[in-house]
Structure 1
Amino acid sequence: MARPIAKDHEAKRLHILREAAHVFAKEGIARASMAQVALACGISKANIYHYYGSKDALLFDILDSYLKALRDRLEGLELDGLPPDAQLLQFVSATLLAYDGMDAEHKIQTEGIAVLGQDEQQVLKGYQRDMVRQLSGILAACAPALADDRARLHATTMSVFGMLNWFYMWNGDADRAARLAYAEVVSELVIGHRPTKI
C-alpha cells in the first residue's frame, strides 16, 4: 500500500526549497551539502531524502519553481490594449517586484543551471527564453525598426535584463517604491521618453 502524503507535505517542500536556496547561495552549489540543507531546515538528512533523491533534484526544483513562477507572472500581465511604452513599464516593474525576496534563487541561477543535466537545463532555459521572447516583442512594438534587426533587438532585450539584474545585485533591500522608480528609469532609457503610466 502506498504511503499517504502528509497534509503538510507541500508546506514542508516549500520550506526546504527556500532554505536550500539560501544554503546554495551562501556556500556555492558545489560546496553545499544535503547535511547543511537539513540543518538549515531543522530536519534530519533522511527527511530531506524523503523529498529529494539527490542534490541535483533539489536544485532543479528550486530553479524550476522560481523560473516558472517568474515566467507565469510576466506572461499573466494584462498588456492587451496598452500602448507599447506602457507595456514595457509594466513588464519591467513586474520583473523588479518579482525579484524582491528572491535573492538566493536569483543568485544561484547561472551556476545552478550549468551543473544540471541537459534535459533539466532545457526546461529551465525554456522559461528564460519565454521571458526573453515576451520582452523582445514589447521592445519591437516600442521601436519598430528593431523588428527588422534581430541582432540589435536581442542585444537591446538582454541589455534591459542586464539593467534589472544590476539593480537586483546592488539594491536588494530596495522597497516597492524604489523598484517602481527604477523601472521608470529603465523604460525611459530604452524608449527615450517617459513611459505612459496606466
Structure 2
Amino acid sequence: MGRNRSANYEDQREAILAQAAALFASQGYPGTSMNQVAAASGLSKPTLYHYFKDKYALLVHIAEGHVKVLEQVVMEVEAMKLKPDAALREMIERFVMEYAGAADAHRVLTEDVRFLQEPDRQRILGHERKVVEGFADAIALLRPELDKAHLTKPLTMLLFGMINWMFTWVRADGHVTHEQLAPMVADLFFGGLPAVGLPAIKRKR
C-alpha cells in the first residue's frame, strides 16, 4: 500500500522547489547537493526524497514549471480577445511581472537547461516555442507585412532580449521596480515597432 500524502504535500513540494531554485540560481545546478536542498527546506534528507527522487527531478520540475506558467500567461491573454495592441502590451507587462516573482526559476531555465536530458530538454523547448509563437502571432496582427517577411519571431526574440535578463540587474531595493519597468518595456517595443523596415530581398546569383 502506498504511503498516504499529508494535507500540505503540494505546499511542501512548492516550498522545496523554491529553495532548490534559489540554490541552483546562486551556486549553479552542479554545485548544489541534495543535502543543501534538504537543509534549506528544513527537512531531513530521507524526507526530501519522499518528495523528489533526486536532484535532476528538481531541475526538471523547476524549469518546466516556470515555462508552463509563461505559456499559461500567453493563453490567458489570448482568451481575453483584446485588440492586437492591447493584447501584446498585456503579454509584455504580465511577463515582466511574472519574472519579478520568479527570478530564481527563470535563471535556472536560462542557465541550467543544458543539464537536461534530451527528451526533457525537447519537451521544455516545445513549451518555449509555444510562448514565442504566441508573441509572434500578436506582432503579426499589428503588422501583417512583418509576418509575410518572416520577421515576427526575430522581433519576438529581440523583445525577449530586453526582458529575459532583467533578473541580472533589477534589484528589489533598486530605484526602479518591475511595476515601473513593465510599461516602459512595452513603450520601448511599441515605439520601435512602427520603425521596423522590411529587409532588402537578396537576389540569388
TM-score using structure 2 length: 0.86
Give 1:112 shift.
2.2
Q: Is the 8 A contact 1:100 1:172 kept in 2?
A: no
SS at match of 2:47: helix
Q: How does 1:84-163 map to 2 (within 5 A)?
A: 84-150=84-150, 152-163=151-162
Shift of the 175–147 alpha-carbon distance from structure 1 to 2, 3 Å rule, reads closer
Deviation string, structure 1 residues 7-65 (Cα, Å, up to 9, x no partner)? 11101000000000000011111111111111111111111111111111111011121
From 166, 184, 189, the counterpart of 1:181: 184
Partners of 2:27 and 2:72 in 1: CA distance = 29
Give 1:79 shift.
5.9
Partners of 2:42 and 2:189 in 1: CA distance = 41
Partners of 2:79 and 2:64 in 1: CA distance = 25
Q: Which amino acid aligns with 2:169?
A: W
Q: Is the 8 A contact 2:107 2:167 kept in 1?
A: no
Structure 2 spans left out of the alignment, 5+ residues: 196-205
Shift of the 83–105 alpha-carbon distance from structure 1 to 2, 3 Å rule, reads same
Q: How does 1:32-43 map to 2 (within 5 A)?
A: 32-43=32-43
- Aligned residue pairs, count: 191
Partners of 1:16 and 1:10 in 2: CA distance = 10
Higher relative contact order (CA 8 A, sep 6+): 1
Shift of the 74–172 alpha-carbon distance from structure 1 to 2, 3 Å rule, reads farther
Larger Rg: 2
Q: Is the 8 A contact 2:60 2:116 kept in 1?
A: yes
Q: Counterpart of 1:51?
A: 51
Partners of 1:50 and 1:81 in 2: CA distance = 43
Deviation string, structure 1 residues 59-113 (Cα, Å, up to 9, x no partner)? 1011121111121122111565533222211111111111112111011113322
Q: How does 1:69-80 map to 2 (within 5 A)?
A: 69-78=69-78
**Percent identity of equivalent pairs:** 30
Structure 1 spans left out of the alignment, 5+ residues: 193-198
Name whichever of 14-23 and 67-76 sits farther off: 67-76
Q: Is the 8 A contact 1:84 1:142 kept in 2?
A: yes
Partners of 1:6 and 1:155 in 2: CA distance = 47
